[in-house]
Amino acid sequence: MVPRGGNAAAGPDSAPRRVREPEVRAPDAAPTRSDATSAPRPRAPRAEPARDDGPPTGLTPRELATLYDAASADIAQLPKASQGDLLAQLAMLNIMRVLRASQPVRDDAAAQLWKLRQRVDERKAGR
């Protein structure tokens, strides 16, 4: 085998390697720059809005999905005879399309989910 140019012709590297020593800090020490920039802080989840406050706006796709799951769980708590039309309305929302849509579309979907949850509450109360 014929050596090729580059590293094959060079001998072993005799230069010392720099090894980064682990940083030891006191538990109550302030975070270093690397600690502060290493991981992004998670967003605090929004508390679920009260149902009497009106439909929420400005929801992220994740928050809208949480609202959708809450509406689905509310419907599941109803007797089977009361679930049919509400489940159909939930399915018509097409949540997968809405999650990828613009903010105004998500706001409209949140308003529909809010109204749907109001209907669930009315059925639970027997109105």
Exposed, middle or buried by CB within 10 Å (0-12, 13-18, 19+), for 111?
middle
Helix (H, G, I), strand (E, B) or coil at 54: coil
Domain boundaries, the chain: 61-125
- pTM for the model stands at 0.57
CB contact at 8 A, 83 and 94 = no
pLDDT in tens, 48-90: 444 457 788 899 999 999 999 999 999 999 999 889 899 999 9
Mean pLDDT of 91-97: 89
The per-residue pLDDT for 60 is 92
The per-residue pLDDT for 56 is 85
The per-residue pLDDT for 21 is 65
pLDDT in tens, 16-50: 666 666 666 666 655 555 544 555 555 444 444 44
